Chains A and B, each alone.
Chain A
Amino acid sequence: MSFSVTEPSPVQKWIAGTLVVVYALITILPLVWIISTSFKSQNDAIAYPPELVSPVTLEGYVNLFSTRTRASAEDLAANPPETWYDEIAAERGTIIVGPSRFGERFLNSVIIGFGSTFLSVFLGTLAAYAFSRYKIPLKDDLLFFILSTRMMPPIAVAIPIFLMFRGLGLSDTHAGMILLYTAVNLSLSVWLLKGFIDEIPREYEEAALIDGYTRLQAFIKVVLPQAATGIASTAIFCLIFAWNEYAFAVLLTSGNAQTAPPFIPTIIGVGGQDWPAVAAGATIFLVPVMVFTILLRKHLLRGITFGAVRK
């Protein structure tokens, strides 16, 4: 048999593979639990011992998106279900009287999450480029100052922010939340992106300058495409923070701009322990970040090494 000694042996590969699979199973279990609960009925969801396999129902999703009222047998008979979701509600002795607020909350999350991510990355890229390429007075101090905004948990300054927001009329507005999350994410984005841009040799831009382009054109045509990896991974980090943020959302939003995280727990209050509806909310909530991450996956893998292995 001929093999390269520096290659792992088949046994080593097998052991490594097994470890990876076990680890993946452990980390994926809560996710599986949430998703499977979202397709259970209320009774199955709280059954003890837990059921691994139970009949699939969309009850949780129907409850998540609707407001219902308990109805007597006569009412139910008088209002025969017209659609599949009416039918599901009727089986539980309820009639759907309107949509829930989950849709709006979810939309708020999308607007605020992606809005602040875009802003953080946009401003971060410009700032990082400036820090990387120009002689800026007190550059190191400024960079440290920017980083220092991340040194305490943002929630520690919740009260002043709350007061400022109230004074400025930013409480419970989309703009306010976008601004807040952008401010929190900006230090991360400047530092990460500066690292990536430092890695891009200046010669590329200089070549473009000599080839007849302006600084801004060189930035757009030469730097941005090469920073794509860094921008993508920074965007993911920013989105994950803004998407999952709970404390500020509870504090600063209520009716108008409330995001999904503070809303999901409130679902449980409507008509007892509606775990499937909560699970459905959590499942749907997961989807955008997952899709976003998968779309940018190939950048992320390279990006997480912070450019260390790039030549």
Chain B
Amino acid sequence: MAEIVLDGVTKRFGDTLALDAVSMRVPDGAFVVLLGPTGAGKTTILRLVSGLDAPDAGTVLIDGQPMASVTPAERNLAMVFQQYSLYPHMSVRENLAFPLKSPRLKTPPDQIAAKIAAVAEVLQISHKLDNKATALSGGEMQRVSIGRALVRRPVAYLMDEPLSSLDAKLRTDLRVELKAIQAETGGTFLYVTHDQIEAMTMATHIGVLDQGRLVQFGSPREIYENPVSLYAASRLGQPRINILPAAVFGAHPAGAASIGLRPEQIVQGEGADSLVKRVERLGDQTRLHLSYRAHDIVTVTDAHTGLTAGDIVKIRPEKPYYFDADGARLA
């Protein structure tokens, strides 16, 4: 396993700047999640690390070695794609054997069989080994493609939204499985997603990307509790952080343009009146859609609250975040 370093990496596609001087260190054995919306540059980073694309400027280092002239095959990485990851003309077994049979590894057949059996066991696909890849369900396919990464010992695992095409239940299961696999193998993971739950639950480090720039890098807790910007604050948290003009709750630090309130930063029953517009019951919690001085606020309350639409509830900010006009965090 290895450390991956990006040093001032820039990548353009035509006129678009996909990555703007990104520097980042993925420590050996870390589970780094790159989080951002479509177009933030997450997948581009994976492709540069894997060697499928080359940076226009800057260096990618794996285990301290610059990768500029190293082919994807020689980098000895494993990558799981979002989709299209299984070869449709092969059986599950052949798919799993494919990386092992590569000219680099040339694994002897008995070892291939043993490794496939072991991985299939972990991912619970042993009974599907002789199926055609196309005969699998979405969840099984994704398990197999993860399995294809796990059959060998690469220096790091790259994963590009591997769970995004799956339904909620399966996503939850595979999240836990992936995390367990990482704990077991001690592998370095570089994982791309736009799903904040995946980022928060699996990552040792999250890298928040905004239009090709790495805006914050730290543990999930750091980023959730101490976001550097309005953008970073909006990436994590469900319901999403409420952003309002700084002045709506009265006094605010000089230079503040907006105030950010997560549900736990809103105290109910004290402060100023707000109108309940809608009560959304999710079972374990209930969301209140409030209107406060013509601004919408979403917060969370007790699952069995007696509040209904049209009620008045008092609210008060508690240790909120303030951001300046550019969205940078003030306090």
Mark A residues whose CB is within 8 Å of B.
201, 203-204, 206-214, 217, 221-222, 225-226, 228
Mark out the residues of chain B between 129 and 179 whose CB falls within 8 Å of any chain A CB in the assembled complex. Answer: 148, 158
Q: How far is the CA of A213 from the CA of B76 in the complex (A)?
A: 11
Residue of A nearest to B99 (CB): A211
Instruction: List 14 interface pairs A-B (beta carbons < 8 Å), by A numbering.
Output: A203-B83, A207-B79, A207-B81, A209-B73, A210-B51, A210-B79, A212-B73, A213-B73, A214-B73, A214-B103, A221-B98, A225-B89, A226-B87, A226-B88
Q: How far is the CA of A217 from the CA of B79 in the complex (A)?
A: 18
Chain B residues lying within 8 Å of A203, measured Cβ to Cβ, are: 81, 83-85
Q: Judging by beta carbons under 8 Å apart, are A209 and B105 in contact?
A: no
Q: Judging by beta carbons under 8 Å apart, are A201 and B102 in contact?
A: no
Q: Judging by beta carbons under 8 Å apart, are A213 and B103 in contact?
A: yes
Q: How far is the CB of B99 from chain A (nearest CB, A)?
A: 4
Q: How far is the CA of A226 from the CA of B98 in the complex (A)?
A: 16
Q: Judging by beta carbons under 8 Å apart, are B83 and A212 in contact?
A: no
Q: How far is the CA of A222 from the CA of B99 in the complex (A)?
A: 12
Q: Does B197 contact A (CB under 8 A)?
A: no
Pick from A209, A214, A221, A225: contact of B52, CB under 8 Å: A209
Q: How far is the CA of A226 from the CA of B90 in the complex (A)?
A: 10
Q: Which 4 A-B pairs have the closest CB atoms?
A: A212-B102, A212-B104, A211-B99, A201-B84
Q: How far is the CA of A203 from the CA of B50 in the complex (A)?
A: 13
Chain B residues lying within 8 Å of A213, measured Cβ to Cβ, are: 73, 102-103
Chain B residues lying within 8 Å of A225, measured Cβ to Cβ, are: 87, 89
Q: Does B327 contact A (CB under 8 A)?
A: no
Mark B residues whose CB is within 8 Å of A.
50-52, 71-73, 75-79, 81, 83-85, 87-89, 98-99, 102-105, 148, 158
Q: How far is the CA of A276 from the CA of B71 in the complex (A)?
A: 66
Q: Judging by beta carbons under 8 Å apart, are A206 and B102 in contact?
A: no
Q: Judging by beta carbons under 8 Å apart, are A210 and B50 in contact?
A: yes
Q: Judging by beta carbons under 8 Å apart, are A226 and B89 in contact?
A: yes
7 more A-B residue pairs beyond the given contacts A204-B84, A207-B81, A226-B88, with a C-beta to C-beta distance below 8 A: A203-B81, A203-B83, A206-B79, A208-B98, A211-B73, A212-B73, A228-B89
Pick from B78, B87, B88, B103: contact of A210, CB under 8 Å: B78
Q: Judging by beta carbons under 8 Å apart, are A222 and B102 in contact?
A: no
Q: How far is the CB of B164 from chain A (nearest CB, A)?
A: 14
Pick from B87, B89, B99, B158: contact of A212, CB under 8 Å: B99
Chain A residues lying within 8 Å of B72, measured Cβ to Cβ, are: 206, 209-210
Query: A217 with B103: in contact, given A203-B84, A208-B98 (CB under 8 Å)?
Result: yes
Residue of A nearest to B88 (CB): A226
Q: How far is the CA of A177 from the CA of B71 in the complex (A)?
A: 43
Q: Judging by beta carbons under 8 Å apart, are A206 and B98 in contact?
A: no
Q: Judging by beta carbons under 8 Å apart, are B73 and A210 in contact?
A: yes
Q: Judging by beta carbons under 8 Å apart, are B98 and A204 in contact?
A: no
Q: How far is the CA of A208 from the CA of B71 in the complex (A)?
A: 12
Q: Judging by beta carbons under 8 Å apart, are A212 and B85 in contact?
A: no
Q: How far is the CA of A226 from the CA of B134 in the complex (A)?
A: 12
Q: How far is the CB of B37 from chain A (nearest CB, A)?
A: 21
Query: A211 with B98: in contact, given A201-B84, A203-B83 (CB under 8 Å)?
Result: yes
Q: Judging by beta carbons under 8 Å apart, are B85 and A207 in contact?
A: yes
Query: A222 with B87: in contact, given A210-B77, A217-B103 (CB under 8 Å)?
Result: yes
Q: How far is the CB of A245 from chain B (nearest CB, A)?
A: 34
Chain A residues lying within 8 Å of B50, measured Cβ to Cβ, are: 206, 210
Chain A residues lying within 8 Å of B52, measured Cβ to Cβ, are: 206, 209-210
Q: How far is the CA of A208 from the CA of B97 in the complex (A)?
A: 12
Chain A residues lying within 8 Å of B78, measured Cβ to Cβ, are: 210-211
Q: How far is the CA of A149 from the CA of B278 in the complex (A)?
A: 67
* Max count, chain B CB within 10 A of own CB: residue among A201, A203, A222, A228: A203
Chain A residues lying within 8 Å of B99, measured Cβ to Cβ, are: 211-212
